[in-house]
Amino acid sequence: YTQESKATEEKPIFKALKEYPDLKLGEVMGQGSFGAVYKATLRGAQVAVKRYFFNNTQGNQGIEREVRYLSRVNHENIIKLYGTMVDEEGKTLVVMEYADCGSLHNYLYDNGEQKPNYIYTLALKWMHQLAKGIAYLHAMKPRSVIHRDLKPHNLLLTNGYRTLKIADFGTVTELATVMTSNVGTASYMAPEVVCSKVYTEKSDVFSFGIVLWEVLARKRPFYHLQNREPFAILYQIGIGKHPILEDVKNYPNVKLLRYVIRSCWIIEPKERPTMELLASCLADC
Ligand code: ACK
């Protein structure tokens, strides 16, 4: 009776996915360099399915092992992973919880549809939820999960925009190496990631600081640069530059908020606060 089979028993849906004839893919919700995300139904319930572009030549094992580990994640602010399967074309599908209000990125920048007004307390609530979710991933046993790609695209909203849920965590570690060498998006990368590709919990903390700045400043990180090509942004990060702190303004506790953001951007990763500390700090903001 191995650890593995125990985990499988706790998550019957995971194993069963392979035999699912009733996973029905619907419309494409979005595309990325990795593949596409579909709206889908499974046993009549709404789910989201990520379908990777690359063909799964070595079989699904590495990814399946990783998704099985990640499917143990059980937190209200993290998108649940249900399982993986390989379709008839040999592409990997990852089946996950569906979030009905789209991404934070969509909320911030897509003006197409009607959305609830931007409320400062709501933004802080989201960031508190985000900190709690990431703290949970960092505390996972036997090994912590580092998100590696925290940005508004990967933060989904549900429950009438009141709840934020983290998606694409772990950037399914093994998939990340298969995909491209640049996991993460330039603007959200920590300097040590830019300079030496070292991902730790503290590189998530750095990215968290950028997202916190972004929702409070309501501007795109590095909007002030003339050249916003990824390489130009990476260069700026590499030399220790970050978004303009003074763009966070007009809030009652602006001093504290700037202090929190600045602490996430400390160059030495060890000196940045833990996600747990950030969560408790934001609970008081
Ligand atoms: O900004 P969006 O509406 O939210 O468009 C992107 C798109 O798919 C590509 O990533 C949406 N998306 C991703 N994962 C999910 C999910 N689990 N539930 C609902 N929408 C999702 C994302």
Q: pLDDT per residue over 160-198, tens digit each? A: 999 999 998 866 544 444 444 445 689 999 999 999 888
What percent of the chain has pLDDT above 90? 61
pLDDT of 105 above 60: yes
Predicted pLDDT at 17: 55
* pLDDT at residue 93 in the model: 87
Q: Whose CA is nearest to atom 5 of ligand 1?
A: 30
* Bridge partners, 32 (sequence order): none
Tell me the mean pLDDT in the region 104-108.
92
CA 85 vs. chain centroid, Å, equals: 21
Among 80, 100, 103, 165, say which to mutate for ligand 1: greatest number of ligand atoms within 8 Å of CB: 103
| Chain centroid, CA 176 distance in Å | 13
Which position has the token pair 């009905």?
Answer: 100
Q: How many CA atoms lie within 13 A of 93 on its CB side?
A: 23
What pLDDT sits at residue 276?
Answer: 98
The rounded mean pLDDT for the chain is 85
What is the rounded distance in angstroms from the CA atom of residue 262 to the CA atom of residue 272?
9
The protein residue with its alpha carbon nearest to ligand 1, atom 16, reads: 98
Q: Calculate mean pLDDT across residues 141-158.
A: 93
CA-to-CA distance for 177 and 180, rounded, in angstroms? 6
For ligand 1, mutation pick of 25, 27, 28, 29 (most atoms within 8 Å of CB): 29
Who wins on pLDDT, 5 or 107? 107
Could you read off the pLDDT of 123-136 as tens digits, one per residue?
A: 999 999 999 999 99
Residues 78 and 62: their CA atoms lie apart, in Å, by 22
284 included as an active-site residue: no
Give Cα separations from 258 to 113, 209, 283 (angstroms): 31, 10, 15
Does the CB atom of residue 167 touch ligand 1 within 6 A?
yes
Cα of 231 to ligand 1 centre, how many Å?
26
Say what the pLDDT of residue 82 is: 87
- Asked if residue 112 lies in contact with residue 105, where contact means CB atoms within 8 angstroms, the answer is no
The larger pLDDT score, comparing residue 116 to residue 166, is at: 166
CA of 259 to the centre of ligand 1 (A): 32
Atom of ligand 1 nearest to the CA of 100: 19
Q: What are phi and psi of 210, to 5 degrees?
A: -65, -45
Residue 91 near ligand 1, beta carbon < 6 Å: no
The model's pTM: 0.89
- Flag whether pLDDT at 4 surpasses 50: no
pLDDT value of position 61:
65
Residue 148, sorted as left (phi over 0), alpha (psi -120 to 50) or beta, turns out to be left
Residue 48, beta-bridge partner list: 39, 96
Q: Which tops the pLDDT comparison, 242 or 284?
A: 242
Of the two residues 111 and 158, the one the predictor is more confident about is 158
Decide: 164 and 157 in contact? Cβ < 8 Å. Answer: yes
The encoded tokens of residue 144 equal: 């912590």
* Whole-Å CA distances, 269 to 118, 149, 150, 192, 212: 32, 17, 16, 8, 18
Q: Give the Å distance between the CA of 125 and the centre of ligand 1.
A: 20
Which member of 22, 87, 149, 204 is catalytic?
A: 149
For the chain, give the percent of residues with pLDDT over 70. 83
Both ends of the chain: CA-CA distance in Å? 47
The pLDDT value recorded for residue 6 is 45
Helices (H), 17-74: 61-70
pLDDT tens digit sequence for 68-88: 888 899 999 999 998 888 787
Please state, in angstroms and rounded to a whole number, the distance separating the CA atoms of residues 235 and 117.
Answer: 35
Question: What pLDDT, on a 0 to 100 scale, did the predictor assign at position 226?
Answer: 94
- Alpha helices (H) along 82-200: 104-109, 120-138, 173-179, 191-196
Backbone angles phi, psi at 194, to 5 degrees: -60, -45
Give 41's pLDDT tier (boundaries 50, 70, 90): very high
Asked whether 104 lines ligand 1 (CB < 6 A), one says no
Question: What local confidence, expressed as pLDDT, does residue 172 receive?
Answer: 56
The predicted structure's pLDDT at residue 176: 44
Q: Quick one: pLDDT band at residue 110, thresholds 50, 70, 90?
A: confident
